[in-house]
Amino acid sequence: MNRTINNIKINYEEKGEGELIVLLHGWGSNIKLFANLIDLLSKKYKVVAMDMPGFGESQEPPSAWCVDDYADFVIEFLKAYNTDKVMLLGHSFGGRVIIKLNSRENLPFEISKVILVDSAGILPPKSNKKSFRTRWYKFCRTILSTGIMQKIAPEALEKLRVKYGSADYVAASPLMRQVLVKTVNEDLEPLLPNIKCSTLLVWGVNDTATPLSDGEKMEKLIPDAGLVKLENAGHYSFLEQQYTFNRVMCSFMKIEE
C-alpha cells in the first residue's frame, strides 16, 4: 500500500482489526522483516508497519532529518487513523523514534504500550583507540574540506568517510549518510524515564550493535519496564529466535497461541 505524506511517498502495510499497534523498523531495514510479526499481532490487533522515509520502498526525506523529524512524521502518518490510543513496537532505530515520541507533550494520542527490541538510543562509551580514531578522522576531514583540497582531490573527502564509516554509513545514500550521523550521535538516555506506560524490552544476548548492557540500562531507567534476554541471538533477535520471541509477544500482548 502507498500513501503520500508531506509530499513523501510512503510504502506501508496494515492488517487485522482492533486496537492499533504500529511497528517501526531499524536502520537500513524495512517492513518485510516484520512479516511474521504482522501475521502474529494481527490475530488480535490492527497492525500498521511503514517503511520510514529513506528506507525500503519509501522516498527519502527532503533534507537530512534528525530523530525528532521522524517522530513528527509518525505523528502525521497516524492522523489518518483518528485514534486516541496506540501501541508502539520498535527495533533498533525504530526504538529511537519511540523514545522521542514518549517524551512529547500534547501528543494527539495516548501511548498505551511500548515494545523495544534491541533498541538504539544509548551512546556507547568510547575507548581510547576509538577516541583517537575519531580525532584523526575529524582532523583529516577538516583538511580535506578546505577549498584548495576540494579542487586538488575532490573525491578524497568521500573516500575518507567511506574508510572510517560504519557498514550502515557506507551502504547509505549521500542524504541518508547525513541522517545517520545526526541520529547516532544523539544520546536519548535522559529521555528514558519519560516512558511511563508498560514497556517490554527484548534483547539478543549476543547483540553487538546495541549491546545487552543497553537493554539493562533501559530497564533501570524506564519506570515500568521488564527485560527479556534471548540466548543465541544478536541484533535481530526477533528473527534469530523467532519461536521464543513470538511466545514472549503472545504473553505480553495477551494473544492466544
Which one-letter DSSP state was computed for residue 91?
E
Residue 128, number of CB atoms within 10 A of its CB = 7
Alpha-carbon torsion, ordered 154, 156, 159, 164, to 10 deg: -130
- Beta strands 46-50 and 8-15, pairing class: antiparallel
Residue 206: inside a domain: yes
Q: Which residues pair with 3 in a beta bridge?
A: 10
Are residues 21 and 109 part of one domain? yes
- Residue 86, SS3 per DSSP: strand
Are residues 200 and 249 part of one domain? yes
At residue 175, φ and ψ (nearest 5 deg) are -70, -45
* Domain total in the chain: 2
Q: What is the largest CA-CA distance in the chain?
A: 66
* pLDDT for residue 149 is more than 70: no
pTM: 0.86
Are residues 117 and 51 part of one domain? yes
The residue range of the domain holding 18 is 2-123+185-253
Q: What is the pLDDT of residue 129?
A: 57
Residue 234: inside a domain: yes
pLDDT in tens, 48-93: 999 999 999 999 999 999 999 999 999 999 999 999 999 999 999 9
* pLDDT for residue 152 is more than 80: no
Residue 24: inside a domain: yes
Q: How far apart are CA 195 and CA 197, in angstroms?
A: 6
Of 35-49, 84-98, 160-174, 212-226, minimum mean pLDDT range: 160-174
Are residues 248 and 160 part of one domain? no
* pLDDT for residue 137 is more than 60: no
Q: Quick check: 97 and 90 in contact, CB under 8 A?
A: yes
